[in-house]
Amino acid sequence: MPMVLTETAIMQYRRDGYFFPIPILRADEVADLRGRLETFEAKQGGPIGGGHRNKSHLLFKWLDDLMRDSRILDVVEDLIGHDILCWNTIFWIKEAGSPSFVSWHQDLNYWGLDANDLVTAWLALSPASVESGCMRVLPGSHAEAILPHADTFHSDNMLTRGQEIAVEVDEDKAVSMALKPGELSVHNGRIAHASGANDAHDRRIGVSFHYVPTRAQQVVGDWDSAALVRGKDDYRHFAATPIPAGDMDPVAVAFHEKAVSALHDILYRGAEQVTGRLG
């Protein structure tokens, strides 16, 4: 028996590779989390970026808690079963009026993971509308072969290498996954997806959680890390990430440095340039 999703929702996810919207957080919870993020940004004197965007649950206790929130994990369990690792958490922030975009791509082309059932859970902490550049997906593309990609290194592209699908994508078939603050979308790690610029007056703030069954493996890098968030890990394919005692806990911050450096090597393997972005 599914825990929270209907059989119809699960069937749609399996057939099309995505499902949304799923209400998760109350308005007061969204305000609290956005406040925590923006307090950190105000203290550091600018938007979160660089290495802070990835594996960020090691830096912020509140994000580690959110990654383990049963309201999100119940959805994920309905899709991939009870024994769940979170491999990465990524901030996707587009400032109001910013040209930042994400080109059409398939994540499992470059994450080095042997995990065709990877679920990305993307949570909106501000409005993710068509105007603010919400994600768009190409239904059913997760079930087909991974398409060829090319690196563009475009400076407004939020992806590591500005990588994009090198064949024509039929944009007419794309579905926009607009979300209200506190809502979640889920998509399969093989699905083709993209997002446009933020033409709205507010920041578009999203955080993504990338969940895999514990049997998943890193097949490109020699070392990688993940957090056991539900069930048990009989495989131990990944180094277990420590749970931070608080924000910027020194032990977790030191682990974060190692984990992001390993991720950097995986994502830039074979690239001709390093942009400094990870995503």
- Report the interface residues with ligand AKG, using CB under 6 A: 92, 102, 107, 120, 122, 135, 193, 195, 206, 208
| Residue 78 CB neighbours (<10 A) | 21
Smallest separation, CB 246 to ligand AKG (Å): 27
Smallest separation, CB 196 to ligand AKG (Å): 8
Chain centre to alpha carbon of residue 145: 21
110: number of CA atoms within 13 Å, CB side? 26
Can you tell me the distance from the alpha carbon of 260 to that of 103, in angstroms, rounded to the nearest whole number? 22
Measure CA of the first residue to CA of the last residue in the chain; give whole Å. 34
Smallest separation, CB 49 to ligand AKG (Å): 14
Tokens representing residue 31 in the block: 């305000």
Closest CA to 195 of 150, 152, 137, 109: 137
Closer to ligand AKG by CB, 13 or 122: give it: 122
Smallest separation, CB 137 to ligand AKG (Å): 10
Closer to ligand AKG by CB, 89 or 249: give it: 89
Closer to ligand AKG by CB, 193 or 230: give it: 193
Smallest separation, CB 167 to ligand AKG (Å): 18
Closer to ligand AKG by CB, 73 or 249: give it: 73
Closer to ligand AKG by CB, 164 or 249: give it: 164
